[in-house]
Structure 1
């Protein structure tokens, strides 16, 4: 029996996902997943859901037209909002979600992009992306869509991001 399954987001998942994250103290409202579902139906976004032992364990979204200007102008799809429940970490959930996302994107595109926050909260994500062959896009750090330059004064928060890409062979 395969403990880990990856599938598309379904309407009944919206409530389940929101509740699962609320149980670990994270605010991820139902309407966020309802919007994702609508965007999936419109072809704007693809949402992959992971189940571990038939229980929701995490998800990842692929945004076909990235809001990040550098990716958007080059037609690079972006992985956005990869989240795994704490109790399912270190069980291959994020790796399986990434494998499937890369497989799907590589069928039509030469590369894929991703961004991550720079605080220690993102440490696991930073390591997994580098190990998977993602490299910085060379444009430096950005915050709320603005590239930062030497001497900028900033607030360190989730919007302080470094973007990476991976090219498929």
Structure 2
């Protein structure tokens, strides 16, 4: 039958475990960011949904009721900081997290937006977004809340 899988709101106690999971896969620790997310969750500015498999934290995604940056700032909810730890990938965890996150985002709007990382570490998430029907908006790359301008012409 397999281990029980649930998706639930982040608890304060999850901060250390999530941060440690990043370190275990060779990424920087994230305690400060996760603590900030938890505080934002406490005041309703963000939801942090955590996937738990058995006793292990498998990943998380955040839902912002109104995007803070980019072309949809202040207009639509945004799914952002989507992470499934490497040892849990290709097991349906990402799909379960996105299902729950989309369900929550649709409470705010019938339009859901994504913040998408572009380096190859985000490749599995990028492919999953396309399979689920997400389409780039055509506004280009954004950095520090501004659309990037071309740096040269060919």
TM-score normalized by the length of structure 1:
0.82
Secondary structure, counterpart of 2:137 in structure 1: strand
Matches of 2:89 and 2:60, distance apart in 1: 12
The answer as to 2:17 corresponding to 1:12 is no
Matches of 1:13 and 1:111, distance apart in 2: 29
Name the one with the larger strand percent. 1
Paired residue for 1:152? 151
8 Å CA contact retained: 2:77, 2:108: no
Unaligned runs of 5+ in 2: none
Matches of 1:62 and 1:5, distance apart in 2: 17
Matches of 1:32 and 1:115, distance apart in 2: 16
Paired residue for 2:49? 48
Paired residue for 1:116? 116
* Number of residue pairs matched by the alignment: 151
State the shift of 1:55 in Å.
0.9
Paired residue for 1:164? none
TM-score normalized by the length of structure 2:
0.89
User: What is the root-mean-square deviation in Å for CA atoms of aligned residues?
Assistant: 1.7
Aligned residue runs from structure 1 range 19-168, under 5 A:
19-73=20-74, 75-149=75-149, 151-152=150-151
8 Å CA contact retained: 2:62, 2:80: yes
Matches of 2:107 and 2:45, distance apart in 1: 17
Matches of 1:141 and 1:101, distance apart in 2: 23
State the shift of 1:82 in Å.
0.5
8 Å CA contact retained: 2:140, 2:148: yes
* Runs of 4 or more above 6 Å deviation: none
Secondary structure, counterpart of 1:137 in structure 2: coil
